[in-house]
Structure 1
Amino acid sequence: MAGVLQRFEQRLEGAVTGAFARAFRSAVQPVEIAAALQREIDNSAHVLSRERMLVPNDFTVELSTSDHERLTPFGTTLSDELATLVKEHVTEQRYTLAGPL
């Protein structure tokens, strides 16, 4: 039952987010990318044992052409900062990464 509710919540969130994105066409902010990565980690966690949950260690961030052009000059810095935030989230939640980031 929890899985059904989680999928419903994800679809609803995606629909609302998509509708707002189309309506307002604002540029994506790094904090939004970080939040999306955290959400993906949480939603992809697999229970290995009572004390161990496995999460993905590889992520692809897709951006619009304009967002990509705007963020490209900050690519290395942004990538490093997002990796740090992912590691902090994994540590806080006591997850186990599937491999190195």
Structure 2
Amino acid sequence: MKRGVVCLSLLLITAIPGCAEREEGLHARVARLESELAEARARLDESGAAIGELRERLERHEAALDSLTAELVTVKVERDKLRQEVTALRRKGR
């Protein structure tokens, strides 16, 4: 029994420094990962704001495009009416 206690004591004494080093390494790794996570969240917040601005610009451009499309349709209708009038006047002039 005494021999088992001595072996266990030796095992613990030799394992403790290795565990402490490993624990320190894990703490350092956790700290690094927390820092990287904070940086990633900051970048995400920035890109989220940029995405919001881009969406607003897209909506403005889509509204402008819709307006121009409606104006183009109006111009085409007027053009077709003028063509009909010109054709009618040419027929009268003959």
TM over 0.5: no
Higher alpha-carbon Rg: 2
Query: What TM bracket, shorter-length normalisation?
Result: under 0.3
Give the structure with the higher percent helix: 2
